[in-house]
Amino acid sequence: MESPTPNRVKKTILVADDEAAVREVLADVLAESYEVVAAGSGEEALEQAGRCHPSMVLLDLRMPGMSGMATLEELRKRDTEVPVVVLTATTSYQTAVEAMRLGAADYLAKPFEVAELLHVIERTLATQNLYNEVRYHRNNLHRPQSTQMIGSSPRMLEVFERIRQVADTPSTVLITGESGTGKELVARALHMGSARRDAPFIALNCAAIPENLIEAELFGHEKGAFTSATGKRVGHFELADNGTLFLDELGDLALATQAKILRVLQEREFTRVGGTRSIQVDVRLIAATNHNLEEAIREGTFREDLYYRLAVFPISLPPLRERPEDILPIAEHFLRSRTGPGQGPKRLSREAAELLSAYAWPGNIRELENVMEQLIILVRGDVVGPADLPTHIRRRQVSARASDEVLAGNVSFDKAVAEFEREIIVRALNETGFVQTRAASVLGITRRVLKYKMDQLGIPARPTYVSR
């Protein structure tokens, strides 16, 4: 078993039950994944809820004093959002139904299995996350799109116009473009511009899910469908009912899975893995890929009929290198919208801006965002200078300066090459803490060659100075 993520913040679950043994068992079962707060009565449960603000509540309905039902009603008055799962005896189903009418998210009949308990908790928290996402989007409906997507280049203006044209239609959209160009932002803009904006927006990166699990992620599964299926699970199509499902990197799916997605698009129904009942859904599908699907069709790795179902309205996103006028506005947006600890917004110097504009950005907006985040953390002042930029972006400045000196007759060719090598090696050493093996790897040479160059150029083995 993998070690838990360091410093991971656990969600808090409040367990309210008058039986000490039940509270202890639940605390032991949940302790690994959640912070557990226990209460032995309804009154104590209300007091603890006001103090710890739990992510969810497990509430026994049969307690002396303030009953579970009365506690539920008071919890709903105080906090309409915290999900409550009621615990009830097998003979109290009618009471459980009444509790759900009053706002309980789900119920568990005693006695219950640990796997069933964990499944209900995970499902309830996942549903709450979806509710929070919908509420977030609803609160941001009137914010200008430019806060999400930035660009004034002709190519991006075309993209914005196509989004406007198709957003409030039921049409399936296929978004194509290189990795990091912002395909999910386009999908979210389409969702928020549609009549489905108050319903869920569910996103799934198909390339990140193993092939043997992707169908369960898409369509859900029934208890016992496979070895690890300890409970029923709702899939992404079902979660997105009445809303939008965004499938990123759809081109990576196996042909068998493609056929099942095609059936959902045609019939608007599917069956969970291990199930027999057809489930009908009303989902708008938005797909994205960085593959050339027409070429994949010729190679036999993508279904032609699915392609034409998806590409009802295609949107092609240009790479950042083809919209250079958008690089600085996007970079400045990242710098303005995020700040480091105890720092204010940063700005780019003229030289740094020129280097950013001249760089090809093979990783597109995602790479630009990562670079800006590094600068926010590392640069202590308010201005980002050229020396603050990563080595691979600064190389253009180094080579340009060296060539200018040679052409002006100020230095010899050999000296300019030596200075260039010195600059690059020292920067690589500085950025790797003068660990020569790592620096050699960054430079794409062996450690022996690096050591030879350091001796030849008089570069010390320890950081006695920092190249700027």
CATH assignment at residue 295: 3.40.50.300
pLDDT of 454 reads 87
CA 210 to chain centre: 17
Beta bridge partners of 175: 288, 315
Q: Is 404 contained in some domain?
A: yes
The 10s digit of each residue's pLDDT in 356-393 is: 998 888 889 989 998 998 898 888 888 998 888 887 78
> Where does residue 96 fall: left (phi above 0), alpha (psi -120 to 50 degrees), or beta otherwise?
alpha
Highest-confidence range of 142-156, 281-295, 401-415, 448-462, by mean pLDDT?
Answer: 281-295
Instruction: Tell me how far CA of residue 319 lies from CA of 74, 316, 322, 353, in angstroms.
Output: 54, 10, 6, 19
Specify the pLDDT at position 136. Answer: 46
Q: What residues form DSSP beta bridges with 246?
A: 203, 286
Domain assignment of residue 368, given as a range: 322-457
Q: Are residues 102 and 27 in the same domain?
A: yes
Residue 176 is encoded by which pair of tokens?
């194509």
Per the CB < 8 A criterion, the answer to whether 365 and 317 are in contact is no
Q: What's at 205, amino acid-wise?
A: N
pLDDT for the residue 36: 93
The torsion defined by the Cα of 376, 382, 385 and 387, in degrees rounded to 10, comes to -60
> Residue 367 in 3-state DSSP?
helix
Residue type, position 164, single letter: R
Q: What is the residue whose two structure tokens read 């200078």?
A: 385
* 310 and 333 housed in the same domain: no
What integer is the mean pLDDT of 187-209?
A: 91
Q: Could you tell me which residue, 77 or 138, shows the higher pLDDT?
A: 77
User: For position 292, what pLDDT does the model report?
Assistant: 92
- Asked if 251 and 351 sit in the same domain, the reply is no
Contacting residues for 393 by C-beta, under 8 A, at least 6 apart: 355, 356, 359, 371
Asked whether residue 3 is assigned to any structural domain, the reply reads no
Do 158 and 306 fall into the same domain? Answer: yes
Average pLDDT, the chain: 83
115 and 162, same domain (yes or no): no
Residue 29 pLDDT exceeds 80: yes
Structural domain includes residue 142: no
For the range 331-337, what are the long-range contacts, defined as Cβ-Cβ under 8 Å and sequence gap of 24 or more?
331/356, 331/368, 331/372, 333/150, 334/368, 334/369, 334/372, 334/373, 334/376, 335/372, 335/375, 335/376, 335/384
Residue 7 lies in a domain: no
322-337: burial string, b at 16+ Cβ within 10 Å, e else: ebeebbeebbbebbee
Q: Could you tell me if 374 and 439 lie in one domain?
A: yes
Query: Domain end: 264, 288, 316, which one?
Result: 316
Structure tokens at 78: 């105080």
Residue 468: what pLDDT?
34
Domain identity same for 285 and 305: yes
Q: Is residue 404 domain-shared with residue 351, that is, in the same domain?
A: yes
pLDDT band at 149 (very low <50, low <70, confident <90, very high): confident
Asked if residue 468 belongs to a domain, the reply is: no
Q: Provide the residue count of the chain.
A: 468
For position 327, what pLDDT does the model report? 94
Residue with the bigger pLDDT between 176 and 420: it is 176
CATH number for 55: 3.40.50.2300
Same domain flag for 247 and 335: no
Is 294 within the bounds of a domain?
yes
Whether residue 117 is contained in a domain is answered as yes
Kindly state whether residue 183 falls inside one of the protein's structural domains.
yes
**What does the pLDDT look like over 16-26, one tens digit per residue?**
999 999 999 99
103-117, 229-243, 292-306, 307-321: least confidently modelled range: 229-243
Query: Rounded distance, CA 413 to CA 18, Å?
Result: 85
Query: Tens of pLDDT along 108-147?
Result: 888 888 888 998 898 888 887 776 556 544 544 444 333 3
- Would you say the C-alpha torsion 413, 416, 420, 422 has a positive or negative sign? positive
Q: Any idea what the CATH number is for the domain that residue 426 is in?
A: 1.10.8.60
**Percent of the residues in the chain that have a pLDDT greater than 90, as a whole number:** 37
193 shares its domain with 303: yes
Instruction: Count other C-beta atoms under 10 Å from residue 305's C-beta.
Output: 13
466 residue type, one letter: V
- Rounded Cα gap, residues 274 and 256, in angstroms: 16
Q: Give helix 68-78 / helix 42-52 axis angle, nearest 10°.
A: 20
- Could you tell me the pTM of the whole model? 0.58
Show which of 101, 136, 171 is a domain's final residue.
136
311 and 412 fall within a common domain: no
- Residue with more model confidence, 152 or 226: 152
**Span 314-334, mean pLDDT?**
93
- Which pLDDT does position 143 carry in this prediction? 41
Q: Are residues 332 and 444 in the same domain?
A: yes
Q: Which of 266, 295, 316 is the last residue of a domain?
A: 316
pLDDT of residue 141: 47
Share of the chain above pLDDT 70, in %: 84
Give the pLDDT band (50/70/90) at residue 317: very high
- Looking at the structure of the chain, the number of domains it has is 3
Lowest-pLDDT range, 55-59, 168-172, 282-286, 405-409?
Answer: 405-409
135-149, 219-233, 367-381, 438-452: which range is least confident on average? 135-149
